[in-house]
Amino acid sequence: MSAQLSGIVTDSISGKPVSFATIAVEDEKQGATAEEDGKFTIEENVKDKTLIVSALGFETKKIASVNAVSIQLKPVVYELNEVAINNPNNQENNVIGAFEKHQYIQPGWSWPTLFAKKFPYESAYEQTPFIKNAIIYTDNSHRKATIKIRVFGVDAAGFPGEDLINEDIIITVKRGERKTIVDLTKYKLQVPETGIFVAFEWMLIESNKYNDYYKSEGKRHDVIRYEPTVLGNRTKTRNAYFREGGGKWYERPLMTGDGNVVGSFEPAINLTLTD
């Protein structure tokens, strides 16, 4: 029996909708993305579950599903530190990330998912310290699809940490296999000595939705997925990380048949650094 949950996410102060908030079901591969008007629907039965609701610029909130018809998020007040920040010259560029041709594809699942690539710091970046843009590679069967780009610091354990950009970066990608350049100049970001992560976050909104299937043990299983498909490759480094639902980050390893880790499945992201 269907027991879907529909609700709306709003700003607790202004009352305005919180567009594209993420609603994840705690400890489950379930959830949704709010539409631009703040409304969302979780198709699965989430009775007696806890939801984790998050959006950049707002405090993350845990709420029982029974109370989730109307969810209010409290805006975060950021303290501005008075520090001198040099402006990029944009005269010398250096592309890092080593992606050239994809070796696998990663479709968007029907639960909140982030797929991140780590860029470790190298001393050579001192010549081009600023991040000019991110170059992302996708495939899309729709006329267009939208996806979020997130930028994280690195925590003490080497996993994605805090967001380094406190606003949504929402990118529209066109049909087919595409390279999209995401301008990050205005944020004046540099690669910290601890490294930096750039991540895709699939948006579980109606315009990205499509029907798919897979076969297992001779049987067809119909599933819902979300555009776009992210391209990637196999690497000997271990710089790929996933986060599903409201869970923790974990590595995306590349393993041999006998279970040995020999690298990772890495999303197709390059960065352009500039001076």
163, 60: one domain: no
- pLDDT at site 236: 81
Separation of alpha carbons 97 and 200, rounded Å: 15
Cα separation, 221 vs 202, whole angstroms: 22
186-203 confidence digits (pLDDT tens): 999 999 999 999 999 999
pLDDT of 3 reads 67
pTM of the predicted structure, to 2 decimals:
0.90
pLDDT tens, position by position, for the chain (275 residues)?
456 899 999 999 999 999 999 999 998 999 999 999 999 999 888 989 999 999 999 999 999 999 999 999 999 987 655 444 567 777 889 999 977 777 778 889 899 999 999 999 999 999 999 999 999 999 998 888 999 999 999 999 999 999 999 999 999 999 999 999 999 999 999 999 999 999 999 999 999 999 998 888 889 999 999 999 999 888 888 899 999 987 899 988 776 667 677 777 889 999 999 99
Instruction: Give a yes or no: residue 121 inside a domain.
Output: yes
Say what the pLDDT of residue 257 is. 62
Q: Residue 46: which CATH number?
A: 2.60.40.1120
Q: Which of 42, 212, 181, 32 is nearest to 112 (CA)?
A: 32
Return the pLDDT at 235.
83
CA separation for the pair 163, 273 (Å, rounded): 19
pLDDT at position 4, please? 85
In a domain, 86, yes or no: no
61: enclosing H helix or E strand: strand 61-64
Calpha distance 115→209 (Å, rounded): 18
* Strand 113-119 with 209-216, pairing: unpaired
CB 7 within 8 A of CB 39: yes
Which pLDDT does position 201 carry in this prediction? 96
Considering the domain architecture, whether residues 170 and 48 belong to the same structural domain is answered as no
Token pair 């529209």 is at which residue?
172
| 32 close to 42: Cβ distance less than 8 angstroms | yes
| Structural domain contains residue 83 | no
Q: Is the peptide bond before 120 cis (omega within 30 degrees of 0)?
A: no
Structural domain of 126: 93-274
Residue 114 shares a structural domain with residue 64: no
CATH number at residue 128: 2.60.120
b/e burial code for range 102-137 (CB count within 10 A of at least 16 → b): beeebbbbbbbbbbbbbbeeeeebeebebbbbbbbb
The total number of structural domains in the chain stands at 2
Cβ pair 122, 175 in contact under 8 A: no
